[in-house]
Chain A
Amino acid sequence: AQTVTQSQPEMSVQEAETVTLSCTYDTSESDYYLFWYKQPPSRQMILVIRQEAYKQQNATENRFSVNFQKAAKSFSLKISDSQLGDAAMYFCAYRSALVSGANSKLTFGKGITLSVRP
């Protein structure tokens, strides 16, 4: 079974600064997808960024980028130029690339609460 670990329960960053959120995972599969989701107080899980394991290039989405280290099974999220609206819980998640019923679910980490100081 796959597991996702987010070891930091909370982090804080000064507005306009850069912060990195850590995530490690464990799997025996070679093909999979990794995601970072943001959950603000509104409760809706919002996709921030995704990475396909077979792609060596790190994904980027505007101020958000990842550092994907497949051999180390590490998938960290870097937020540049942090804004007050970035304050939320962030979840790292894993999904198998195998298309079958048993592999259709997302496995989430425990999440990290990010606060942004003005």
Chain B
Amino acid sequence: KAGVTQTPRYLIKTRGQQVTLSCSPISGHRSVSWYQQTPGQGLQFLFEYFSETQRNKGNFPGRFSGRQFSNSRSEMNVSTLELGDSALYLCASSPRGRAASNSPLHFGNGTRLTVT
């Protein structure tokens, strides 16, 4: 079974631009979560999507948004990029529902975003 796939692996953008990152979950997984990883703040939860609906959102400004498609693939978008948005963005997928509540998240290799 293929793992979580994130594209692209690396991205360089300029301040003020916008960026879209993509995540394909493990086949059969319907929940997709996004995390931002920086040396200073560590791993911080961005949002979770299930059945094309945002189920939970972290404490990030409105410039960070996401969506999920009917095939469970997800994208996240960051508009008006700032230098502080430079980070590793990790996507994770999991089954959903009470029976799967103890299922660990399966992570992708991440997208390294550099804002100059």
Contacts and interface: CB of A to CB of B under 8 A. Distances in A.
Given A45-B92, A99-B98, A106 B105 contact: yes
Contacts of B104: 35, 47, 50
* Residue of B56, B97, B105 with most chain A CB atoms under a 10 A cut-off: B105
Contacts of A28: none
Contacts of A45: 90, 92, 105, 107
Nearest to A37: B107
Contacts of A99: 97-98, 101
B48 A105 contact: yes
B97 A101 contact: no
A71 interface: no
Contact of B110 (A33, A37, A43, A108): A43
Interface string B92-103: 100001100110
Contact of A108 (B43, B98, B102): B43
Contacts of B88: 43
Most buried by A among B42, B90, B92, B108: B42
Interface of B: 31, 33, 35, 42-43, 45, 48, 55-56, 58, 88, 90, 92, 97-98, 101-102, 104-110, 112
21 contacts: A42-B109, A43-B90, A43-B112, A44-B107, A46-B107, A47-B105, A50-B104, A91-B43, A97-B102, A99-B97, A99-B98, A99-B101, A102-B56, A104-B48, A104-B55, A105-B45, A105-B48, A106-B35, A106-B45, A107-B45, A111-B42
